[in-house]
Amino acid sequence: MQEEQKSKKRKLRLPSLSFLVCLILSALAWFVLNFSKDQVQTLEYKVVCSFLPEGKKSCTLSDTTLLLTFNTRGLNYLSPRYSKANRIIDLPVSELIKNKSQRSAYTFSNKELRDFLQEMGYDELQYVQKPEVITLYIR
């Protein structure tokens, strides 16, 4: 009688243990497959001005947030660079306006901004989704 109870307990444990193993293996397989392919992700970044030209005291932007679309491998999105706490772009104003004539307002299209950000090291950046145009006011 005790042997029958032990064999029943073993039979009950084996399916649940094999189910857990299969579940863990399938979760690992999903994780590897999902994060090993190229993905397109749109993230919101806050813009902060720095390195103002000589004689200028302040800088304001027409829009302080950018929607940037990236295309990279899924595992790269797990890097700290894409975490919500690090989604701040420090925009060096002197570098951005160096090829423009001197004035107090500068307008940049999203293509110009994308090219500049790619030069700054955002290699995976595909395009700036919003805003279409950003204006920089320097005083």
CATH architecture of 38-138: Beta Complex (2.170)
User: Does this model's pTM top 0.85?
Assistant: no
End-to-end CA distance of the chain: 91
Residue spans of the domains in the chain: they are 1-35, 38-138
Per-residue pLDDT of the chain (139 residues; tens, 9 = 90+): 566 666 666 655 556 788 889 999 999 999 888 878 888 889 999 999 999 888 888 999 999 999 999 988 877 777 888 888 889 999 999 888 887 888 889 999 999 999 999 999 888 899 999 999 999 999 8
Judge whether 81 and 89 are in contact, CB under 8 Å: no
Residue 129, SS3 per DSSP: strand
